[in-house]
Amino acid sequence: MDNVDVLIFVESRYRVDRKRIKSVVFSVLEEQSVKSHLEVSIAIVGDRKMKALNKKYRQKETTTNILTFPLSEGESTRLPKDILHLGDIVISYPQVILEAAAEEMLVDDRMEELVRHGMLHLLGLHHE
């Protein structure tokens, strides 16, 4: 998808399949019939960073597997050049490993599930 910019930041010690992450983003956008020129950022971090974010934004002293930060709740924000910035997805790689092991699945498969979940949140689709 030429009209989608996926910015991926990965802390250096973690190995992730960037192509697969982008593919999941494209797939969700296609499934949801999103056609705007847009940008989303995804950060893969450690538990220390995730715990700090959880404390700062949710007032919780624990880590979590994923946090999503829509740029603005319910409103679209346009960047220069008319690009819609959906927001940010932050995923804790250590939590992905733990969850994949507990569920007896591949780490890349669990990562895919979390990216999909995060994208749906950024698009305003929340679980009930």
34-83 tens-digit pLDDT: 888 899 999 999 999 999 999 999 999 999 999 999 875 545 555 556 77
In order of their start, the domains of the chain are 4-122 (3.40.390.30)
Average the pLDDT over 7-18 and give the result: 92
Q: Which residue has the higher pLDDT, 72 or 121?
A: 121
- The pLDDT value recorded for residue 79 is 52
Q: Lowest mean pLDDT: which of 2-6, 17-21, 22-26, 103-107?
A: 2-6
Classify 12 as helix, strand or coil: coil
